[in-house]
Amino acid sequence: MKSFNYERASAPEGAIHAGAAKGAKFLAGGTNLVDLMKYGIESPSTLVDINHLELKQVVANPDGGVIIDALVRNSDLADHPLIKTQYPLLSQALLSGASPQLRNMATTGGNLMQRTRCYYFTDVNFPACNKRAPGSGCAAIKGYNRIHAVLGQTDKGSTSGESCIATNPSDMNVAMAALGAKIEVEGPKGKRTISFADFHKLPGATPWIETALRPDELIIAVTLPPAKFAKNAYYLKARDRNSYAFALISVAAGLEMDGDTIKSAGLALGGVAHKPWRNLEAEKALAGKATSPEVFRRAAEIMLRDAKGYEHNTFKIEMAKQGVVRALTLASLGTSETQGTSEGTQA
Amino acid sequence: MMADTAPTPAKQLDHRYEGIAKVTGKAKYAAEFSQPFPKANLAYAYIVQSTIPNGTIASVDRYAADLAPGVIAILTPFNAPKLAQGPPQPPARRNLSLLQDKDVHYNGQPIAVVVAKSLNEAKAAARLLTIKYVTKPAQVSFRERPGDARWPKNPGKEPAGNHRGDVQAGFAKSAVVIEQTYVTPIQHHNPMEPHATIAWWEGEKLNVYDATQYISGVKMSLAKTLDIPVDYVRVINPVVGGGFGSKGSMWSHVPLCAMAAKATGRPVKLVLEREQMFGPVGGRPSTVNKIKLGASADGKLLAMQHDVIMNASAMEDFTEHSAGPTKNLYMSESNSVTEKVVEVNLGVSTFMRAPGEAPGTAALEIAMDELAEKLKMDPVQFRLVNYAENDPSHDRPWTDKHLRECYSQAAERFGWSKRSATPGSVTEGNALIGYGMATATYPANRSAAQAVVRMLPGGRMFVGSGTQDLGTGTYTIMAQQAASGLGIDPSLVEVKLGDSTLPKAPVSGGSQSSASVLPAIQDATTQLKLKLADLAIADIASPLHGLKTLDIEIKEGKLFNKNNPSQADSLADLIARNGNKPVEAMGSAEPSESKDSMTSTSWGAVFAEVAVDKDTHMVKVRRVVGTYDIGTLLNKKTGLNQLVGGIVWSISFALHEEAHIDPVYGRVVNESLAEYHVPVNADIGAIDVTVLNIPDIKFNPIGSRGIGEIGITGAAAAVANAIYNATGKRVREYPITPDKIMAARGLA
Ligand SMILES: Cc1cc2nc3c(=O)[nH]c(=O)nc-3n(C[C@H](O)[C@H](O)[C@H](O)COP(=O)(O)OP(=O)(O)OC[C@H]3O[C@@H](n4cnc5c(N)ncnc54)[C@H](O)[C@@H]3O)c2cc1C
Ligand code: SF4
């Protein structure tokens, strides 16, 4: 590990000031950043420890929604009464992620910002990775790409400086995308609000730029709009073991029901793209329809339209479709108490 | 001497001998010692690994690294001391990477060592080295290259080819034939405790704390490698955090640590990082098993053919005998097996828990399930029809075999009779439910061993042997064995192992430690009894003074006259009168003569129930029931624990574990425990294990056959067969991940 400066911030202003230094990084739970520092992938000049900021509340928003502070731990968020009752989709997604120990450390802001698990990104001994070393190429395209993207990736060949087929590994983000969250940030130039859809970016021609957050901006909070899907929500996660594994594919499905008819839907996929994958067309195709396997299947087809697989991950396309149908079906049957626990998501 | 009747079982300890020391943190693992050298001198070594799969090192630019803070020395192929490497040592003829040449054979090979005042400084400096290579084309995969398969150079104990009868004739007259290919992946052992060494020199003498399964092996190998007398090396290792075969041979980091200690004149600690354990310390090779089975209409096996190809490192051959079970698990009229290797630029393969039998049963036992189905026979019935009364591969008897009872007892407890023979016919909600079974088997091994025992003051006893405890219970059963010799309580025994100054014992591998070491302790206690009797006879103050040795019996801490039990002396008094001087005896034992006229093998029957989700295709192993015939169960806690742990490994084999190799660079891509999947608690359902506990006294006087490895055999196939029974989908490539189940063709 390289040497670095350590600063502990006690207020957001101080954190933002310290974070403006060249090469500075915010340290939240550290469960992603510290690993990447040990692997030699991140080498911040200064670590600005934000764990002491008073940004640890979950509160009802006067607009009917909820405000989640950036330093709320994943386990606290999942267990918060407001979230459990109003936004069970988010609770389920959080509980399906990582392990209890990690969730006790991981924060809302850190989870939003966690980086890809692409093997070629996390091992500096692979020479080609545009995200880690811009312009070096993408080893994943001709490599072992089972955990990689099938939607929205940039593939101009393994040697192109623009290519990247990595995925965003977060579960929380998938639920927040389906819920239509917004992100409140603050930097030296002031505050702004970023919609969830704009926060994470597709690789485009600059795979090393992952979010709309500027390096000197601090995430203050995530806001959720008034809850629509409390009664009909399901987070489905297919993975290689029953806990403590990243999603092969995941589906966040929320339905606003009127009898058997879908009034509105929130739908997002994880494990398939560089960002939580949302397609408003699929949500529109569900709205106003009576629930049926055909309707769900059509939404699944729209979600996976133009998907392109690689040697080891083509299965994700069909698996994601099956997952969408299953998640929508279960959501339509009503949110159940056990969902999000290992019994709930498993047979 | 071999007893004719079953031995009286030793009194068992209820708890692990070293359990409290472990859970309170007092037990010291190899890397945790900070004595007897001056702690302040301790330096830290970090291994630098190659980043190409094949080629030579052209240059190492060390300028920046040399100037980095804390750096004491950097050893590279350009400056490392030249070694007069002696001939290779058993148990594995390892071709080590000791900076003696500039060749690179695989991605991840040790190519330099940085020594610094702290680990962080060593690692930071290592990143500053600029290494240039001349690369050569590399081969990193083997499955698509069957044409390159060749016979292994050192197949080991078993030949790589074996033929009995005429398989072609057998297939020709078979009513039913199946032919399929079953694939098992590359796996890495990943014991909880990584490989670790602390080395320090005292003049010409070398001491090491080393995380190893074989202290005497490391001692001999270090002496040969460094060209010093064997007696100059001492290896200490009181507890081991698992080894599973990867610590069965000495790997490069051990001599590299000793070389670094010599070069710097300091004690040096070298601990492998988790990601350094995917290559430089061995792994189980991938096996591609082509299996063809033929049977008569009434289910008698007429021919079994099993041809294997596997990857072998360009550095060294290793044969995973996955065709082993095909030779003798069932009685077939004929069989033919071959095992060949294809060279790749990967790290060396080695023994991994149940080498041969783990992948072998994983493959063969699916094939047996497929054939049973084709015959429309119950899988258990099919196995009973082909029960091997004798060892067909050597045409000789077993020392003992009660596999029939294993099948019937486990089937009963599991509720096998409730199985639906129609795949895909049982559902519960969104899950498909299935039952599967398989046979477990692992050979019983035994080697020469020595032990020392001492009668101590206060009725206490000491037992020592240069064996190892990998967390398996060696301490516990040594205490029990020593105590039973004198008929005292095992809690009165002090045990010492894991120090090469103790009498020699074999590698703790091949499930042989108890079968080897306990008979040596038994012999030592027999000698001790004679000495104690003689001491009493010669002691005028003893009530037994003047009796004949043969008349004296020792039990429950007392010596007494067999003909007049009230005439007695206590061991504590005897030693007290002896000026509290301990009485010592040595013992040794080696495999009996029956070794070549009989075959000793452990057996088991294992049943599994799975639930497979229809949409996510995820598998939950709800329960596993196994019954094993392993001879005498020496200690309930440590013995059953190994079987249960073995079954967890086998579930891992079935569903989770695989090292993925990048097809271009030949590096393991998932070299961390986040991405190299092993089961977590949520993956493991109920595991119900019993043993028959019938002593095999033709194998050894204690009657125990070893228990460490058999648990990982069979259960993987039981899970695979259960998945088929649940879904109607046959997945023939391990691990059986959700994508493979989704992709497999179901029944029409
Ligand atoms: C073994 C393992 C398994 C895991 N499995 C899963 C899983 O199944 N599902 C899943 O979703 N996740 C999983 N995770 C990832 C885990 O959720 C993330 O590591 C965690 O959410 C990161 O949060 P943190 O607070 O620890 O972030 P940190 O590591 O502290 O920070 C991560 C990044 O966010 C930045 N950051 C943090 N807070 C702010 C802020 N307020 N403003 C601006 N930038 C900020 C940091 O500078 C850094 O760049 C796993 C992690 C591990 C190690
Ligand atoms: S997929 Fe993206 S992160 Fe992975 S190697 Fe390619 S460029 Fe790097």
ipTM of the complex: 0.96
Query: So what's the pLDDT on residue B439?
Result: 98
| B473 and B16 Cβ atoms separated by less than 8 Å | yes
Q: Which two tokens stand for residue B382?
A: 């099919």
Tell whether the model's pLDDT for residue B511 goes beyond 90: no
* Inter-chain touch A315–B739, beta carbons under 8 Å: yes
Same domain, B637 and B496: no
Predicted confidence (pLDDT) per residue in A260-276, tens digit: 999 999 999 999 999 99
Q: Which chain A residues are closer than 8 Å to B618 by Cβ?
A: 238-239, 242, 346-347
Angle between helices A172-179 and A88-95 (to 10 degrees): 170
- The band of A345, judged by pLDDT with boundaries at 50, 70 and 90, is very low
Same domain, B638 and B705: yes
Residue A141 Cα: closest atom of ligand 2: 6
Domain residue limits, chain A: 5-52, 233-334
Mean pLDDT of all residues in B555-579: 95
State the alpha helices, DSSP H only, in B658-747: 715-727, 738-743
Query: Of B307, B342, B340, which Cα lies nearest the Cα of B326?
Result: B307
| B150 and B624 Cβ atoms separated by less than 8 Å | no
At residue A252, φ and ψ (nearest 5 deg) are: -105, 120
Same domain, B113 and B261: yes
In percent, how much of chain A has pLDDT > 70? 97
B677 touches chain A (CB under 8 A): yes
Same domain, B393 and B302: yes
- Ligand found nearest the CA of A127: 2
Q: Which helix (H) or strand (E) holds A270?
A: strand A261-270
User: Strand B552-555 vs strand B558-561: parallel, antiparallel, or unpaired?
Assistant: antiparallel
Among B551, B567, B590, identify where a domain stops: B590
Q: Which two tokens stand for residue A76?
A: 């606290």
Tell whether the model's pLDDT for residue A196 goes beyond 60: yes
Cα B425 to Cα A290: distance, rounded to the nearest angstrom: 31
Query: Of B356, B326, B665, which Cα lies nearest the Cα of B509?
Result: B356
Tell whether the model's pLDDT for residue A123 goes beyond 90: yes
- Ligand found nearest the CA of A145: 2
State the alpha helices, DSSP H only, in A47-126: 74-79, 81-86, 88-95, 100-105, 108-113, 119-122
- Ligand found nearest the CA of A158: 2
Q: Which of A2, A238, A243 sits opposite B124 (nearest CB)?
A: A2
| A121 and A129 Cβ atoms separated by less than 8 Å | yes
- The band of A95, judged by pLDDT with boundaries at 50, 70 and 90, is very high
Strand arrangement of the beta sheet that strand B335-344 belongs to: B161-164, B335-344, B301-313, B287-295, B176-184
Q: What is the 3-state secondary structure (H, E, C) of B107-172?
A: CCCEEEEEEECCHHHHHHHHHHCEEEEEECCCCCCCCCCHHHCECCCCCCCCCCEEEECCHHHHHH
- Which three-class secondary structure state does DSSP give residue A319? helix
Cα B705 to Cα B708: distance, rounded to the nearest angstrom: 10
Same domain, B441 and B562: no
* Residue B748 within a domain: no
* Residue B491 within a domain: yes
Tell whether the model's pLDDT for residue B637 goes beyond 90: yes
Q: What are the residues whose beta carbons fall under 8 Å from the beta carbon of B188, sequence distance 6 or more?
A: B246, B277, B278, B282, B283, B284, B659, B668, B676
CATH of the domain at B496: 3.30.365.10
Q: What single letter denotes the amino acid at residue B285?
A: P
Q: What is the 3-state secondary structure (H, E, C) of A203-260?
A: CCCCCCCCECCCCCCEEEEEEECCCCCCCCEEEEEECCCCCCCCCCEEEEEEEEEECC
Q: Which residue segment(s) compose the domain that B528 sits in?
A: 19-26+447-590
| B307 and B338 Cβ atoms separated by less than 8 Å | yes
Nearest CA to ligand 1 atom 1: B674
* Residue B2 within a domain: no
Tell whether the model's pLDDT for residue A344 goes beyond 70: no
Query: So what's the pLDDT on residue B161?
Result: 87
Predicted confidence (pLDDT) per residue in B269-327, tens digit: 999 999 999 999 999 999 999 999 999 999 999 999 999 999 999 999 999 999 999 99
In percent, how much of chain B has pLDDT > 90? 92
Residue A166 Cα: closest atom of ligand 2: 1
Same domain, B318 and B352: yes
State the alpha helices, DSSP H only, in B303-356: 324-328
Cα A217 to Cα A266: distance, rounded to the nearest angstrom: 29
* Residue B7 within a domain: no
Residues 183 through 242 of chain A touching chain B, CB cutoff 8 Å: 236-242
Mean pLDDT of chain B: 95
Within 13 Å and on the Cβ side, how many CA atoms surround B239? 22
Q: What are the residues whose beta carbons fall under 8 Å from the beta carbon of B596, sequence distance 6 or more?
A: none
Smallest Cα distance from A246 to chain B, Å: 9
Tell whether the model's pLDDT for residue B88 goes beyond 80: no
Can B709 be counted among the known catalytic residues? yes
| A173 and A112 Cβ atoms separated by less than 8 Å | yes
Q: What single letter denotes the amino acid at residue B500?
A: S
| B718 and B438 Cβ atoms separated by less than 8 Å | yes
- The band of A325, judged by pLDDT with boundaries at 50, 70 and 90, is very high
Tell whether the model's pLDDT for residue A205 goes beyond 70: yes
Cα B326 to Cα B304: distance, rounded to the nearest angstrom: 7
- The band of B1, judged by pLDDT with boundaries at 50, 70 and 90, is very low
Query: So what's the pLDDT on residue B157?
Result: 75
CA distances from A213 to A21, A164, A185 (A): 16, 20, 8
Q: What are the residues whose beta carbons fall under 8 Å from the beta carbon of B324, sequence distance 6 or more?
A: B158, B337, B356, B357, B360
Tell whether the model's pLDDT for residue A342 goes beyond 50: no
Among B569, B590, B611, identify where a domain stops: B590
Cα A198 to Cα B269: distance, rounded to the nearest angstrom: 50
Cis peptide bond upstream of B36, omega within 30? yes
Q: Which two tokens stand for residue B746?
A: 């179901």
Nearest CA to ligand 1 atom 34: A110
Tell whether the model's pLDDT for residue A233 goes beyond 50: yes
At residue A127, φ and ψ (nearest 5 deg) are: -70, -25
B620 touches chain A (CB under 8 A): yes
Q: Which of A120, A125, A241 sits opposite B679 (nearest CB)?
A: A241
Predicted confidence (pLDDT) per residue in B20-32, tens digit: 999 999 999 999 9
* Residue B396 within a domain: yes
Q: What single letter denotes the amino acid at residue B492?
A: L
User: Strand B130-135 vs strand B55-61: parallel, antiparallel, or unpaired?
Assistant: antiparallel
Q: Which two tokens stand for residue B595?
A: 């070794």
Q: Mutate one of B50, B52, B669 to test the A interface: name it (highest A CB count within 10 A).
A: B669
Cis peptide bond upstream of B738, omega within 30? no
Query: So what's the pLDDT on residue B230?
Result: 95
Tell whether the model's pLDDT for residue B3 goes beyond 60: no
Cα B187 to Cα B182: distance, rounded to the nearest angstrom: 16
- The CATH code that applies to domain A5-52 is 3.30.43.10
| B343 and B307 Cβ atoms separated by less than 8 Å | no
Tell whether the model's pLDDT for residue B594 goes beyond 50: yes
A169 touches chain B (CB under 8 A): no
Query: So what's the pLDDT on residue B87?
Result: 60
Query: So what's the pLDDT on residue A77?
Result: 98
- Minimum mean pLDDT range among B80-94, B278-292, B619-633: B80-94
User: Strand B130-135 vs strand B558-561: parallel, antiparallel, or unpaired?
Assistant: unpaired
Could you give the number of structural domains in chain B?
3
Same domain, B214 and B309: no
In percent, how much of chain B has pLDDT > 70? 97
Mean pLDDT of chain A: 95
Q: Which chain A residues are closer than 8 Å to B742 by Cβ?
A: 315, 318-319, 322
Mean pLDDT of all residues in B158-176: 94
* Residue B144 within a domain: no
Going through B448-537 in order, the beta strands assigned E by DSSP cover 449-455, 461-464, 493-496
- Which three-class secondary structure state does DSSP give residue A81? helix
Cα B221 to Cα B174: distance, rounded to the nearest angstrom: 51
Mean pLDDT of all residues in B494-521: 93
Within 13 Å and on the Cβ side, how many CA atoms surround A22? 0
Mean pLDDT of all residues in B610-626: 97
At residue A221, φ and ψ (nearest 5 deg) are: -165, 165
Query: So what's the pLDDT on residue B748?
Result: 56
Predicted confidence (pLDDT) per residue in A9-64, tens digit: 999 999 999 999 999 999 999 999 999 999 999 999 999 999 999 999 999 999 99
Q: Spelled out in words, what is the top-level CATH class assigned to the domain A233-334?
A: alpha beta
Cis peptide bond upstream of B7, omega within 30? no
Mean pLDDT of all residues in B547-573: 94
Same domain, B600 and B736: yes
Tell whether the model's pLDDT for residue A346 goes beyond 70: no
Among B590, B605, B638, identify where a domain stops: B590
Query: Of B169, B626, B139, which Cα lies nearest the Cα of B405?
Result: B626
Same domain, B381 and B502: no
Mean pLDDT of all residues in A285-290: 98
Q: Which of A127, A238, A318 sits opposite B616 (nearest CB)?
A: A238
Neighbours of B132 (CB within 10 A): 9
* Inter-chain touch B738–A319, beta carbons under 8 Å: yes
Tell whether the model's pLDDT for residue B456 goes beyond 50: yes
Q: Tell me how far the alpha carbon of residue A335 is from its chain's centroid.
A: 21
Query: So what's the pLDDT on residue B156?
Result: 79
B/e letters for B226-239, b = 16+ CB within 10 Å, e = fewer, are bebeeebbbbbbbb
Going through B459-600 in order, the beta strands assigned E by DSSP cover 461-464, 493-496, 552-555, 558-561, 564-570, 583-589
Q: How many CB pairs under 8 A join A and B?
A: 117
| A61 and A223 Cβ atoms separated by less than 8 Å | yes
Q: What single letter denotes the amino acid at residue B513?
A: S
